[in-house]
Amino acid sequence: MAEAVLVAVAAFACGLVNSVAGGGSLILFPALMATGMGSVAANVTNSVANLPGYLGGAVGFRSELVESREPLAALVAASVVGSVIGSWLLLVTPESAFDLVVPVLIAASAVLIALQPVVKARLRGGGGRSAAGGVAGVLAATVYGGYFGGGLGVILVAILGVTLPSRLGVLNAIKTVLSAVCAAVTVAVFGIFGPVHWWWVLLAAPMTAIGGFAGSRVARGIDEGALRSVVVVFGLVVAAVLAVR
C-alpha cells in the first residue's frame, strides 16, 4: 500500500511538472525503482505510464494548438521515427550497461531543466527559422526521448523556438503533442517487446493524465522557477544515489 501511494503521488506530480516546466520523469522513474523493479523495467514502465499525462496536457493546450497546424504533421512524423529508433536502442542495451549510464542521464536531464530559463530568454530574443532544421532537430531529440526521455521537453522547446515563428505558449503546446507522440510509440514498442510492469501502469497512467491536465490549466499561476528548482535538486539527488548504488 505504501508503494502504491508513493507511485500514485509521483505519477500525479510527474504529469503536472511535465505540463508546467518539464522533467516529470525524474520524479516517477525513481518512485518505480523504489518498488524493486530494475532500471530498464522502471524506464519502460515510466515511458508507458506517461502517455496519458501528455495527452491530458495536449487537451489542455488545444486552443494554442489551433495556431500550429501547418508545421505539426512533419514534426509528428519525425517524432515517430526518432522514438522508434530510441526505443529499439534501449531494448538492445544490456541492463548492466543501462545501470551505469542512467545516473549520467538523470544528472544531464536535471542540468537541462536548470538551464530552461536561459533557453526561454534566448527564444524571446528571436532566432533563425528553418522548418527542415526543426524536423531534423525533433528527430534527434526523440531518439533520446525513446531511449530515456528526462528533459525531453526542454530540448524540444529549444529546437522549436529557433525553427518556428511561434510564440512561447504555442511552442509549449507543440512540445506537449510531440512528447505524447513519443510516449505513444514507446507504449507500442515496449508494450510488445519491453518488460513493462502493467499493474503499476494501471495505477500511474490515470494519475499522470490528471496531473497533466491540471498542470496545463494552472501553468500561469504556478511559480515555475520554484517548481523547476525542486525538480532539479531532486533529480541530482536521485542521480547521486543511483551512482553510489
Q: What is the 3-state secondary structure (H, E, C) of 144-172?
A: HHHHCCCCHHHHHHHHHHHHCCCCHHHHH
pTM of the model: 0.75
| Contact (Cβ atoms closer than 8 angstroms) between residue 134 and residue 79 | no
pLDDT tens-digit profile of 198-226? 999 999 989 988 887 777 666 556 666 77
Percent of the chain predicted with pLDDT > 90: 13
| Contact (Cβ atoms closer than 8 angstroms) between residue 152 and residue 141 | yes
pLDDT winner (highest mean) among 84-88, 105-109, 130-134 = 84-88
Helices 168-193, 131-147: crossing angle, 10 deg rounding: 40
Burial of 182 (C-beta count, 10 Å sphere; 0-12/13-18/19+) = buried
What cell numbers appear for 78 in the block?
Answer: 519525425
- Cα–Cα distance between 56 and 98 in angstroms, integer? 30
- Cα–Cα distance between 57 and 66 in angstroms, integer? 15
Residue ranges making up the domain that contains 154: 2-244
Residue 161 banded pLDDT, cuts 50, 70, 90: confident
Phi, psi angle pair for 226, to nearest 5°: -65, -45
Mean per-residue pLDDT over the chain, rounded = 80
Q: How many domains does the chain have?
A: 1
Q: Taking the C-alpha atoms of 138, 141, 143 and 144 in order, what is their torsion angle to the nearest 10 degrees? A: -160
